[in-house]
Structure 1
Amino acid sequence: MADEVQALTKAFSGLGGLGVDEPTMVAALANWRRQPEKRSGFRRSFPGLFKEQGVIERCEDEYMLRLAAEFSRFKNLMVLWAMHPWERDARLAHHVLHQAHPAAILVEVACTRSAEELLGARKAYMALFHHSLEEDVAYRAKDKPYCSLLVGLVSAYRYEGPKVSDDTAKAEAKALGAAVKGAAGGRLVENEEVVRILTTRSKPHLVQTFKYYKELHGKHIQEDLGSEEALREAVRCLATPERYFSQVMAAALREGADHHGKEALARVAVTRSDVDMDAIRAAYQEQFGAKLEDAVAGSAHGHFKDAIVSLIVGK
């Protein structure tokens, strides 16, 4: 009985991580049928979840909420997976704007989708919520310094061809350098020239512009953006999305990751599985010296773990 209790306790202990070990729990339902003494022994051996109160072991309210959240991870992943990509992005954006989710998710959606995908998400947003995405961003972020940047990013319809003007890229690298130099403690995210370049230029053009910036100034532009997180997120998503997503997944798998951080694991796995997951896996290996699927297998649990690994490796 001790081994069975230990196995079940371990299954529930996924609560600090990502998902729970559902198969072990299901087995306990069958194996412990008509054996209330086993369930009582489990409750007494798991004081983190149950607290003795008189003649019963009471389930802690906070732990009940956490348990419900862990069971919901697999459900939420499957809902995301089943949605049309345009609706999925529209709902992700709506959650950011109406439920205090990190603004970085909106930057992610705006900067890593193709022009047609972002247009589709805007159409879906209008159909679902009867407002334009741009309208809601402008209203909800009106008091934020990054408001103009966000409105520009979600409104973008970028050229996606390969042509890049070297002269223009060099000139805009100089303009970005001048903006950084002239900021002098002010907010770069409110600089009209910086916002214009990031919200209108094609991604190949921006990659070339950032290359010239590094040649001119000796370091990547991200290093000059300081604590301006919205700008840093936009630059990473536009120029090196595979490295951005590998870092997001690493943060989700880190011990002590917060609720939003953990949610990112399913979001990235679902939204990038058919797009650039192989590149993300390669970037993760390069940055962290381990296979992404192995890191997930070591941190996640149950059906949630199996689903994430399947999306990552494509099997």
Structure 2
Amino acid sequence: MSTLRIPQPVPPVADDCEQLRKAFAGWGTNEDLIISILGHRNAAQRKLIRETYFETYGEDLLKALDKELSNDFERLVHLWTLDPAERDAFLANEATKRWTSSNQVLMEIACTRSSDQLLFARKAYHARYKKSLEEDVAHHTTGEFRKVLLLVLDHNYEHVVKHCTYINVKRVVLIWISYGKLYIDIGSFFSLIVYWVLFAVQCSDFFCSYRYEGDEVNLTLAKTEAKLLHEKISKKAYSDDELIRILATRSKPQINATLNHYKDEFGKDINKDLKADPKDEFLALLRSTVKCLVRTERYFEKAARLAINKRGTDEGALTRVVATRAEIDLKIIADEYQRRSSVPLDKAVAKDTTGDYEKMLLAILGHDDV
């Protein structure tokens, strides 16, 4: 459920553009006017505003906003104004350039977006950065996390690995040399072939595969795979190919059925058996992956709670949660936050943030005057 409040009737898009232009004019920026418009328009309306603004004034609205605004307020407005697919591409690219908590962001995008949303994000990434999302993820990540993340992002990964012997190796080498990229961290020529085929695959809609998103559930399969998961986890074989395959490729209803049977059969929630180990980043990410897949709202509630309750607010995480979930399930996340913390999310945000950043957050949360 969305928290966004849109005025009725919605002003004409030409009027919105004119008012935004006025907000940028003169010696000082009218931040309140910007918030009153962009903080109360949905994704389709914001996209139309961007297009009309460019057609009318010959300037990209995002560049105008970046020039006029600053700090956390600028970042929030920028992310919010982006098309959802562009936003995911932007966040993913940003994550591949950082080495602190960035794997969590990549996993979050991969596990909470639908197959169509991931496809659109991959296309947006390719258009914006002139390279593939898989290419940058493969370069940025290592070990088992790379394997699970690439498989979630593109289910063709498993297919490519199985059929890699049919590749013309000399042709791949020539492509690799002509492209001029060297991945010294990949470790093997076989892996290089895999990633390059993935790059070629992702450029074609025809080859794109999808995680099934219907409601059909195979209970027999759920029981079988619950036992398999328990066996692997009992042996602490967290990086086992079969365990990763189940989590990365099964539909969310199927995973839910499997994990429900896991709890019924073995008496514990799977994340209780995936015991947290501060020294094991992959295990922590695996736990987060499970939560993202089956309890998305709880995952984001915890992300918001940790962002606010830290000594010094984690504005990056708070901005990401609000900007990416406002039109999807932020109302449910806010309700869960209040249930867990006994404080309304908007009150917690108001207490921990200030200025125009606070005003924009509250507008998106639906707690300001339209």
Q: Which amino acid aligns with 2:223?
A: K
Please tell me whether Structure 1 or Structure 2 has the larger radius of gyration of its CA atoms. Answer: 1
Aligned pairs for 1:152-301 within 5 A: 152-156=151-155, 157-183=210-236, 188=238, 190-226=239-275, 227=277, 228-257=283-312, 261-301=314-354
The 5 A counterparts of 1:100-179 are: 100-102=99-101, 103-141=103-141, 143-156=142-155, 157-179=210-232
- Residues in 2 aligned to 1:162 and 1:313: alpha-carbon distance in whole angstroms: 32
Q: For residues 85-128 of structure 1, what are the alpha-carbon distances to aligned partners after superposition, in whole Å with 9 as ceiling and x for unaligned?
A: 11110111111112224210011111111111111001111112
RMSD in angstroms over aligned alpha carbons? 1.8
The answer on whether the counterparts of 2:72 and 2:315 sit within 8 Å (CA) in structure 1 is no
Separation (CA, whole Å) in 2 of partners of 1:240 and 1:256: 26
Q: Could you tell me which amino acid in structure 2 is paired with residue 304 of structure 1?
A: Y
Structure 1's unaligned 5+ residue stretches are 1-25, 27-69
The whole-number CA distance in structure 1 between the counterparts of 2:367 and 2:117 is 22
Give, in whole Å, the separation in 1 of the partners of 2:255 and 2:347.
Answer: 33
> Aligned partners of 1:162 and 1:290: how far apart in 2?
35
Structure 2: distance between partners of 1:254 and 1:244? 15
- Please state how far the C-alpha of 1:280 moved relative to its aligned partner: 0.5
The one of the two structures with greater contact order (alpha-carbon pairs below 8 A, sep at least 6) is 2
2:83 is the counterpart of 1:80: no
AA partner of residue 76 (structure 2) = L
Give the 3-state SS of the residue equivalent to 1:145 in structure 2: helix
TM-score by length of 2: 0.62
Q: Report the secondary structure of 1:147's partner residue.
A: helix
Whole-Å separation in 2 of the counterparts to 1:75 and 1:235: 33
Amino acid at match of 1:104: Q
Residues 232, 240 of structure 2: 8 Å contact kept: yes
Decide whether aligned partners of structure 1 residues 177 and 159 sit closer, same or farther in structure 2, where only a CA change above 3 A counts: same
The letter for the 2-side match of 1:219 is K
1:92 maps onto 2:96 in alignment: no
Secondary structure at the residue paired with 1:106? helix
Would the aligned equivalents of 2:346 and 2:367 in 1 still touch at CA under 8 Å?
Answer: no
Deviations 1:19-48 (A, max 9, x none): xxxxxxx9xxxxxxxxxxxxxxxxxxxxxx
> Which residue in 2 is equivalent to 1:307?
360
Q: Distance in 2 between the 1:79 and 1:308 partners? A: 13
| Alignment check: 8 A CA contact 1:126 1:133 kept | yes
In structure 1, C-alpha distance between the alignment counterparts of 2:125 and 2:70, rounded to whole Å: 28
Alignment coverage as a number of residue pairs: 240
Specify the SS of the correspondent of 2:143.
coil
Deviation at 1:139? 2.4
Amino acid at match of 2:366: V
Tell whether the 8 Å contact from 1:95 to 1:101 is kept in structure 2 after alignment: no
Change in Cα spacing, 1:101 to 1:155, as seen in structure 2 (3 Å) is farther
CA contact (8 A) 1:96 1:106 kept: yes
1:90/1:101 CA distance change after superposition, 3 Å:
farther
Q: Does the aligned pair in 2 maintain the 1:251–1:257 contact within 8 Å?
A: no
Instruction: Tell me what 2:31 maps to.
Output: none
Letter in 2 for 1:216: E
- Per the alignment, residue 53 of structure 1 pairs with none
Report the CA distance between 1:71 and its aligned residue: 5.1
1:222–1:232 CA contact under 8 A, matched in 2: yes
Structure 2's unaligned 5+ residue stretches are: 1-27, 29-68, 156-209, 278-282
